[in-house]
Structure 1
């Protein structure tokens, strides 16, 4: 029997999310982005999305390549629950770029590269910077010979300045809010990192997915996991890094979607006719199977 060349992990993820309403809702129209992607460093072995009340679902890939499960509910309901269950094979970080490698600053400035990644160079509602942060971006860029080295320095800087604190902000928060209070969650830390990278002229993406919380997870144990966010930047090729934890993206990470910011990849969103929502619940359970 051959021995595996790499230490892959196999993760089972159950993500349950939904809304409670103050009274009966007559209809709702929803999109869930909870289906992991098949790509180089991960393989989806099994996935399904279940809806309650029961509804017919259909899937498509959105503009950014994220798998969307869309569904309408036309029966009266006072709560909506979406449960996504998947089994994913993941790999360690693999072929990492050295700090002195990757595209040079003048290559990033070429018209063909700026045109190609134009949308990923623009500030958005959640990634915009103020004058202080713009100056910091210029200083970090000026101190590093290559874009890749500068990108790693940005991740180190943000992690050192903004403390991770669960519940410190909400999904509508932005990079400036997290910077001002010097604390936030992974979405905020990723928004701030993406904003600084783009300010330096580097194409950058916001990545949404899951993270197993323990590097030494025992096989078979189920733990409370989390929806997670990290970043990718382009220096001749895309490279991924988790600024919240200060590590390259590897076997503990599962990619669901990418975009300019959180607004492109929310796990669940929709519109409905009826009384106001009284809250949204989220539960993520992750089990290492191998």
Structure 2
């Protein structure tokens, strides 16, 4: 990659604790970055405790999934994903007036191709107020890309980033009504508004290094992060929470219609209740 690239080491630890011994559990982890145009994966591995045999496959949306079963009695489950990734800056950005036109997006071949990414989901469905907001945004801008950028700005201005204000089940309407949320909520809101405006959109799950001026070799507390990509003749990634294009600080793990398609860890088990989930992400800029 170019001299402007970053090399990031990411350690993501997560897991569940239970109110007693679980007899067995069946799990999927979506915690491994993918090789693609703006990022190269140099190393990626997933370790599980209690020890279990893992196997990897690519799901419907192209996300790498590590699946594993644990059949020995256990009171906790720990998954650690370690990866080293080289990333590129945002690169060639479309101007607001660039990209596909509204007429282009309305062509039957594009509507058919992106059908699943134009439909609402449980977390991205809108109410009348938000549907009207999407229609106003579309009418007020000459291109889909300009509309998308304007919606990003509006969400960032009106929905305050407030850690702990929402949970994984919070939907776009709830986040909008309380005017606060986290990156997941900003992304669900934006995805829902874009789709209502007729712009194909997908939810992206990954990691974000918190500092634009990161020191080499310093391990920092990072974030599992979410942002959005919309299609205007090509896919364009944008981080509505931070108001920036996706660049060298972002590492893609998975894409889908909403969070439910890309949770870092999910599973089913036989045993007593789940008493909590812990998450810790550490990111080190190596170069």
* Same fold by TM-score greater than 0.5: yes
Contact 1:31–1:68 under 8 Å retained in 2: yes
**Is 1:118 aligned to residue 115 of structure 2?**
yes
For the residue of structure 2 that corresponds to 1:150, the secondary structure is helix
Which residue of structure 2 lines up, in the alignment, with residue 139 of structure 1?
136
Name the CA distance, whole Å, in 2 between partners of 1:269 and 1:16. Answer: 14
Of 209, 213, 218 in structure 2, the residue corresponding to residue 221 of structure 1 is: 218
Which residue of structure 1 lines up, in the alignment, with residue 11 of structure 2?
14
Of 189, 193, 216 in structure 1, the residue corresponding to residue 190 of structure 2 is: 193
Name the CA distance, whole Å, in 1 between partners of 2:3 and 2:182. Answer: 31
For the residue of structure 2 that corresponds to 1:198, the secondary structure is helix
For the residue of structure 1 that corresponds to 2:154, the secondary structure is helix
Name the CA distance, whole Å, in 1 between partners of 2:122 and 2:166. Answer: 15
Deviation at 1:6, TM superposition (A): 4.4
Query: Which of structure 1's runs of 4+ aligned residues deviate more than 4 A?
Result: none
Name the CA distance, whole Å, in 2 between partners of 1:167 and 1:178. Answer: 12
Which residue of structure 2 lines up, in the alignment, with residue 33 of structure 1?
30
Name the CA distance, whole Å, in 2 between partners of 1:68 and 1:198. Answer: 27
Q: TM-score, normalised by structure 2?
A: 0.99
For the residue of structure 2 that corresponds to 1:271, the secondary structure is strand
Of 20, 24, 33 in structure 1, the residue corresponding to residue 21 of structure 2 is: 24
Contact 1:220–1:289 under 8 Å retained in 2: yes
Contact 1:206–1:258 under 8 Å retained in 2: yes
How many residues are aligned here? 287
For residues 135-163 of structure 1, the C-alpha deviation after alignment (integer angstroms, 9 at most, x for no partner) is 11111111100000100001001001100
Summarize the alignment of residues 263-274 of structure 1 with structure 2, pairs less than 5 Å apart.
Answer: 263-274=260-271
Gap regions ≥5 residues in structure 2: none
Which residue of structure 1 lines up, in the alignment, with residue 228 of structure 2?
231
For the residue of structure 2 that corresponds to 1:270, the secondary structure is strand
For residues 48-79 of structure 1, the C-alpha deviation after alignment (integer angstroms, 9 at most, x for no partner) is 00000000000000000000000000000000
Name the CA distance, whole Å, in 2 between partners of 1:166 and 1:223. Answer: 18
For the residue of structure 2 that corresponds to 1:23, the secondary structure is strand
**Is 1:97 aligned to residue 94 of structure 2?**
yes
For the residue of structure 1 that corresponds to 2:51, the secondary structure is coil
Name the CA distance, whole Å, in 2 between partners of 1:247 and 1:5. Answer: 21
Deviation at 1:5, TM superposition (A): 4.6
Of 207, 210, 214 in structure 2, the residue corresponding to residue 210 of structure 1 is: 207
Of 271, 275, 280 in structure 2, the residue corresponding to residue 278 of structure 1 is: 275
For residues 186-207 of structure 1, the C-alpha deviation after alignment (integer angstroms, 9 at most, x for no partner) is 0000000000000000000000
In structure 2, relative to structure 1, the CA distance for the partners of 1:32 and 1:5 (3 Å cut) is closer
For the residue of structure 1 that corresponds to 2:67, the secondary structure is strand
Name the CA distance, whole Å, in 2 between partners of 1:106 and 1:130. Answer: 26
Which residue of structure 2 lines up, in the alignment, with residue 162 of structure 1?
159
For residues 160-198 of structure 1, the C-alpha deviation after alignment (integer angstroms, 9 at most, x for no partner) is 110001111011111111101000000000000000000
Of 50, 58, 75 in structure 2, the residue corresponding to residue 53 of structure 1 is: 50
Gap regions ≥5 residues in structure 1: none
Of 239, 247, 250 in structure 2, the residue corresponding to residue 250 of structure 1 is: 247
